[in-house]
Amino acid sequence: MKKQVEDWIQLADKDLYAAEIILKNEYPLTNIVAFHCQQAIEKYLKAFLIEKGIPVIKTHDLITLNGVIKEMNDLGIDEKKLIIINEVYIESRYPGELGLLPDGMPSEEQVKEFVAYAQEVKRIIMKGL
């Protein structure tokens, strides 16, 4: 595995760890958990692309990144979940933009699903590397 890929994986792991820790808080900051889950997934996807010889794509859009991966090798990443976390990521960072969430914040249950999904994406990516 390339050193740059290891660096991206390490950063992704830190984002995922931050999401897990914040979620355990008595009053979890769900928008911050959503942000870190999206960031972790983004970095795992970019790590995969770099390992396959694709230069870093300057985007935060998970759908775009997964689309590039699918052109090479469909890893079976659940795109419906990618769409949701992509939209909630934007909504949680910039309230009122999409109107997806009634109060601009994802629910605690929703971010628990995001953390589990980020862990799933990590497993898929690591297996693909």
**Domains in the chain, start-ordered, CATH in brackets?**
3-128 (1.20.120.330)
pLDDT tens figures, 49-60:
999 999 999 999
pLDDT at residue 112, as a whole number: 95
pLDDT at residue 98, as a whole number: 46
Confidence of residue 99 (pLDDT cuts 50, 70, 90): very low
Over 90: is that where the pLDDT of 4 sits? Answer: yes
Which has more confidence, 48 or 32? 48
Over 90: is that where the pLDDT of 100 sits? Answer: no
Q: How far apart are CA 26 and CA 30, in angstroms?
A: 11
Q: Tokens 């309230």 appear where?
A: 95
The CB-based long-range contact list for 23-32 (8 Å cut-off, 24+ gap) reads 23/108, 23/111, 23/112, 23/115, 28/108, 28/111, 30/92, 30/105, 30/106, 30/107, 30/108, 30/110, 30/111, 31/92, 31/93, 31/104, 31/105, 31/106, 32/92
Question: pTM for the complete prediction?
Answer: 0.90
pLDDT tens figures, 28-40:
888 889 999 999 9
Residue 9: C-alpha distances to residues 26, 40, 54, 81, 91 (Å): 28, 9, 16, 21, 25
